[in-house]
Amino acid sequence: MRHFRVVSLRDRLLLLVLVAALPALMLVVYSNLEERRLDARNARVAALRLARIVARTHEELIDGAHRLLATLAQVPESRLGARCSARYAALLPSYVGYANIGVAGPDGAVDCSAVPLTASLNVADRSWFDRAVRTRGFAVGDHELEPGGRRAVLVTAFPLLYPSGGTQAVIFAALDLARLSQLVGAGGLPAGWTIAVSDEGGAILARYPDPGRWLGQRLPEAALVTAVLGEKDEGTAEVSDPDGTRRFHAFTPLSGAARRVYVSVTAPREAAVADANRILARNMTGLGVVTILALLAAWLGSSWLVVGRVTRLVAATERLRAGDLTARAEVTGADEIGDLAQAFDAMAARLEAVGAAEQEAKQALTERVNALVAQRTHDVDLLNEMSELLQACLLPEEAYAVIGQMLGQFFPEEAGALLVIGGGPPETVRAVAAWGAPTPATRQTFAIDECWALRRGRVYHVEDCATGLLCQHLEGPLPAAYLCVPLAAQGETLGVLHLAAGRLGAPKESGAEPRGISEARQRLAVTVAEQFALALANLRLRETLRTQSVRDPLTALFNRRYMEETLEREIRRAEREQRPLSVVMLDVDRFKNFNDSFGHEAGDAVLSALGGLLRGVCRAGDVACRYGGEEFILILPAAPLPDARRRADEMRGAIRELQVTHEGRPLGPVRCSMGVSAFPEHGSTVVNLLRAADAALYRAKREGRDQVVVAD
């Protein structure tokens, strides 16, 4: 049964042709708008450039007037006299654009003028005369209309000075502003363009063309000029005349005078965009002709190339739907309809191929599952091996070496680093192991707050470094993705495991999946971090217990037990290697006064500060110990007795400069007495050396304290 079609395939093809023509129409319209905008912008730029040329010409006229007046000042006739007016009258025609040249006396009375005066004239009240007399140099007046409104002039002046410095006279020259616009307009202006010179109120001082008609009148757009130039010295604007004509206006100021005077260039908008309008009409006509021809070709060609072939293909499809598997589309061709017919004929054969493909997919899935199981087993074996090795480590450095070697086996396709807190400035993370090529994308040392994982106390994963929020410790070529896992154990954060995959922006093979860190790799990284953090916490706890067993908690110096073991060992070494060994015993003078005056906590502050000083002055190999109470022992290997005495004096001087405060109060000066003994001079056993140093110490106490005494 045939269905009635509201819109046939042929109608749709014709509609498609019309739709295809729409972008061309839009492109023509858009191109015309762009051309009109570009032409309008070029007109604005050209108008502003012409205004600037007028301004530069104006400056050149002023400079020429300056040179002329300076030259005339050297001529004897300029020093007043009967021949001055005749001389200037003969000179004036040679300088086109000058309205007058003359000389005014020191009182302002004009005594000499190239243009005959009908009455006496005094210019003492003119701005240019006042500036020339006051500055004793070249001066420029204001742009103004001559009496009677015949023309606008700009008067320049130059003083004639007495040798003593007083003003003898002022020579002046009046520039005709009409000449300014004529000089620029003489080069030819486009049709409809005008040049005008106006003051701040909009009064026209000069205009080209038709200067006589507009002199002294106000610009129709004076309000617009005031608004634009109130914001900046120069600019452009587009306004409409009362008759609706759109015009471009460009403005720039003329320099030299005290009052602001502007030159404006006006250009009609329609003249600027006339070429764009002609191009639009031509393009629209051509587009219409092409569209009609395309519709005719679509109407004639659709029956032959499309509609008939599609009808035969639909008939074959109906037969197949009815159960006739032998139905075939008797359509040929190398176009899309021919391809569709070939695909229809191959559909039955594809059913068997689909079944085979399903079987292959099941096999591939089984192989992938087996590979994942094998990888998981491998990871578990590595975790067990790492756990055993970490348990056998005695120092954190050994654990660092173990984890550094194992991480490359856990993550062979990624680069990364293991970083721990401590081992440097406080709140600093440093790298103790790294693996992968080229290098891990993290600094070797950074502050804790530069890592989001350490800030938040949990795993931080960035899937795409191009868009994600990155940690501040990343450097060099960025990875495609990275993972930071905090090392936390026993309620303490010990460091971070950094894992990076790929390189941001690196080319990838065709068809390859984006390189990142899978969830399985993330879980493995968390497991590795947890095991290492627990092992490191245990090692640090063991190290802390060992330190507490040999360190005095108040002064952080070695305790008496460690001192006796070390001194015994150093005596044997000195005896074996035939080298000296010295011992310094020191005691805080009048230590009881600190406790009695400030309390026992103040006494502890003194001992703590003294312990810090001794740690600072000790060389590598020296051993500083708290012997008991306020007594301290320094073991100086390889130090002969004179060197030990000198170093003891240096330490005593440093102690004298020690400033100790407690609860904001100074505790007063700290003084120490010291006794020095040496091997083998004063004994070859621990007891003999300590007894000799103790005897020397008490002799220092008896002889006045705050001194160093060598044992007898």
Higher model confidence: residue 508 or residue 520?
Answer: 520
Residue 269, number of CB atoms within 10 A of its CB = 19
Residue with the bigger pLDDT between 7 and 35: it is 35
pLDDT at position 509 over 60: no
C-alpha–C-alpha distance, residues 331 and 310, integer Å: 9
Higher pLDDT: 645 or 132? It is 645
Give Cα 197 distance to the centre of its chain.
47
Find where tokens 């003078």 sit.
589
Nearest to 461 by CA among 412, 522, 401: 522
Structure tokens at 440: 């891990």
565 near 424, Cβ under 8 Å? Answer: no
From 125, 59, 45, 60, select the one nearest 261 (Cα to Cα). Answer: 59
Predicted confidence (pLDDT) per residue in 671-707, tens digit: 999 999 999 999 889 899 999 999 999 999 999 899 9
Domain ranges of the chain: 48-272, 336-370, 375-506+514-547, 552-710
Asked if the model's pLDDT at residue 141 lies above 50, the reply is: yes
Are the C-beta atoms of 604 and 594 separated by less than 8 Å?
no
Q: What are the tens digits of pLDDT across the range 75-129?
A: 766 555 556 877 888 888 888 778 888 888 888 888 888 888 878 888 888 888 8
Quick one: fold of 48-272?
Answer: Beta-Lactamase (3.30.450)
Q: Do 48-272 and 552-710 have matching folds?
A: no
Q: Is residue 128 within 8 Å of 147, Cβ to Cβ?
A: no
Task: Give start and end residues of each alpha helix (H) in 415-491.
Answer: 452-456
How many residues make up the chain in this entry? Answer: 712
For 217-231, how does the pLDDT look when each residue is reduced to its tens digit (9 = 90+)? Answer: 666 655 455 555 554
Q: Quick one: pLDDT at residue 650?
A: 92
Task: Please state, in angstroms and rounded to a whole number, the distance separating the CA atoms of residues 111 and 16.
Answer: 90
From CA 33, how far away is CA 279, in angstroms rounded?
Answer: 11
Considering only the top CATH level, what class is 552-710? alpha beta
Mean pLDDT calculated for residue range 162-187: 75
Q: What distance in Å separates the CA atoms of residue 176 and residue 468, rounded to the nearest whole number?
A: 70
Question: CA triplet 396, 397, 401: central angle to 5 degrees?
Answer: 115
Inter-residue contact 481 to 497 (CB < 8 Å): no
Return the pLDDT at 279: 82
Average pLDDT over residues 153-157: 84
Confidence of residue 584 (pLDDT cuts 50, 70, 90): very high
At 6 the pLDDT is 52
**Between 491 and 232, residue with greater pLDDT:** 491
Q: Which CATH class is domain 375-506+514-547?
A: alpha beta
